Amino acid sequence: MSIDRKAAIAAYKERKTIAGIYVVHCAASGQTWVGQAPNLETIQNRIWFSLRQGNHNCRNLQAAWNTHGETGLTFGERERLEDEETAYVRNALLKERMLHWRDELKAEVI
């Protein structure tokens, strides 16, 4: 393994992940879904992958995808969290903020 490759792997492992709240919206139906993620940079790919496979656990979101397709849905970050010392504090804050945005946006939780 080359030094550059080792350095790249080390840098990848040490990168900071950004936790936060995200929103998926369907313009055609007006439906909105809100969720929390420990890593906002990877969550859209995970959601879109499960929707493409037809097996997302949120049936209403999957139905909107099936009806309107990928172009019918938009994904956006709603809120980023500051770095937290512990996973427990981060997870509690994520849950609290997700519930806030669910109520604020009258959205369904994913």
Which residues contact residue 64 at a Cβ distance below 8 angstroms, ignoring those fewer than 6 apart?
26, 28, 29, 31, 72, 73
Environment class of 32 (CB within 10 Å of its CB; exposed 0-12, middle 13-18, buried 19+): middle
pTM confidence score: 0.83
Fold for the domain defined by 18-109: GIY-YIG endonuclease (3.40.1440)
- Secondary structure of residue 7 in the 3-state scheme: helix
Q: What is the pLDDT of residue 92?
A: 93
Residue 75 contacts residue 47 (beta carbons within 8 Å): yes
Delimit the domains of the chain by residue range. Answer: 18-109
Tell me which residues of the chain have a pLDDT lower than 70.
1-2, 12-15
